Chain A
Amino acid sequence: MGYISRGFRGKRASDREDARLPPGQYLVDGFPVLSAGPTPHTPLDEWTFAIEDETTQLRTWSWEQFRALPSEDIRVDIHCVTKWSKLDTTWVGVSIDTLLEGVEHHATHVLAISEGDYTTNLPLEDVLDGQAWVAFAYDGQPLEAEHGGPARLLVPHLYFWKSAKWVRGLRLMDHDEPGFWESYGYHIYGDPWREQRYAGD
């Protein structure tokens, strides 16, 4: 236990919600926005999504083709490294399993690549088996640009910066490589339940 803060009582979540909150997190009702720069607004007719390896583009979709892929309704809790968590968020997205179907590779990791050179790294096994999606709708509406629209990665079991906004592709890698925030002192993996916020946690 840390240093006792004289006179601090705090506002606890209910017991039921508390069990769903990773250490150091608090509940919010709103949906805070965090991003490093201006919000990009790519017209849908210029939008593409690519699966590539370190040398070659293996597969691409236009927006129309992407939206024709089978999609899933998703209901998950999300946890931001800046301490807020939001329970029971609802999304619609295309599973990464679907995007990688039939792609031959020897990858161990993926680097998600977004508009504006933002990247984030993930172990391949963390985006397979129904654990990650490219989401295009939130709360029954098309995903707003400030929340990463038209499409963002959704990897709810890791801190939310791993759910890269404005995602435009996945690079299959045979090694791990820090992405954008990971290069600025944030944790290389980012498990909220182990409170892996910063490098070395």
Chain B
Amino acid sequence: MARAAVRGRLNWTLGEVVELIDETPRVRTIFLEVPEWPGHRAGQHVDVRLTAEDGYQAQRSYSIASAPEDGRLAITVERLPDGEVSEYLVGELRRGDKLELRGPIGGYFVWEARSDGPLLLVAGGSGIVPLMCMLRHRRASDGTVGARLLYSSRSWDEVIYRDELERLAAGSNGPEVIHTLTRSQPPGWKGYARRVDGAMLAEAAWATASMPMTFVCGPTSFVESVAGGLVLLGYPSNTVKTERFGPTGG
């Protein structure tokens, strides 16, 4: 196991909101200029802290969406029902506002473009965010190792980064992008139209002999079922890295 170098304390630092993009009706990307950002690796996250006028504070962790090579830091946030931080970030935050940030955090759910083996990414809903960071990192570093994304969304309108994924897939050495739409499909849809299951994984996943590196991110039940399904296909447990988010009210 890699031992991280001893490092100093991670300090809170301010980032300024320079752009906001609504990805879907419930999901927004926040681009930040962070002068003191120490850099990150694809797959890491960042803590965001909000402070009310009376001093009350709330913190949450968000996956980083921007590639390490990008000049601006981006997080993509899904508005959760009753989410005290996500409602603010998606509904209230404006350009010119600042956010307190601390990171990068995490070092296991991380992919480097120089890694061996093909890359398999399996995303459920907003679980796409850290995986998109990996795909952006792969493109920014002209990565040539094979990459495949299996991405489960409820409907075509809820596919986050839809246009960019199409552009990435069409580019030279682009990743294969396979969508499944679980609740509703546009007219003429020829792709998958069900939850990710063993049969879909068997069709979409790389052969185990090619020693893929796999990252799975999504809601708990999704990750449980996908990671379990990959193990049944013969993927060694230690090559399947997972990140889960439950209905935490965040």
> A interface vs B, CB < 8 Å?
1-12, 24, 26, 28-40, 82-84, 116-117, 146, 178, 180-181, 183-185, 198-201
The reply on B206 being an interface residue by CB < 8 A is: no
Asked if residues B224 and A7 are in contact (CB atoms below 8 Å), the reply is no
Asked if residues B97 and A39 are in contact (CB atoms below 8 Å), the reply is no
9 inter-chain pairs at a CB distance below 8 angstroms, sorted by A residue, are A4-B51, A5-B88, A7-B92, A9-B52, A30-B247, A36-B108, A117-B238, A199-B6, A199-B10
Q: Which of B10, B224, B230 contacts A146 (CB 8 A)?
A: B224
Complex: chain A residue closest to B110, CB-CB? A184
**Interface segment, B29-37, B54-62, B131-139, B141-149?**
B54-62
Dominant SS at the A interface? loop
The reply on B7 being an interface residue by CB < 8 A is: yes
Given A37-B227, A185-B105, decide whether A4 and B52 contact each other with a Cβ distance below 8 A: yes
Which of A5, A32, A39, A185 neighbours the largest number of chain B CB atoms within 10 Å of its CB? A5
Asked if residues A36 and B109 are in contact (CB atoms below 8 Å), the reply is yes
Asked if residues B50 and A5 are in contact (CB atoms below 8 Å), the reply is yes
Complex: chain A residue closest to B48, CB-CB? A5
The reply on B241 being an interface residue by CB < 8 A is: yes
**Residues in chain A near residue B245, CB distance under 8 A:** 32
**Residues in chain B near residue A199, CB distance under 8 A:** 4, 6-7, 9-10
* B226-250 interface bits toward A, Cβ cutoff 8 Å, 1 = contact, 0 = none: 0110110000011011111111111
**Residues in chain B near residue A12, CB distance under 8 A:** 56
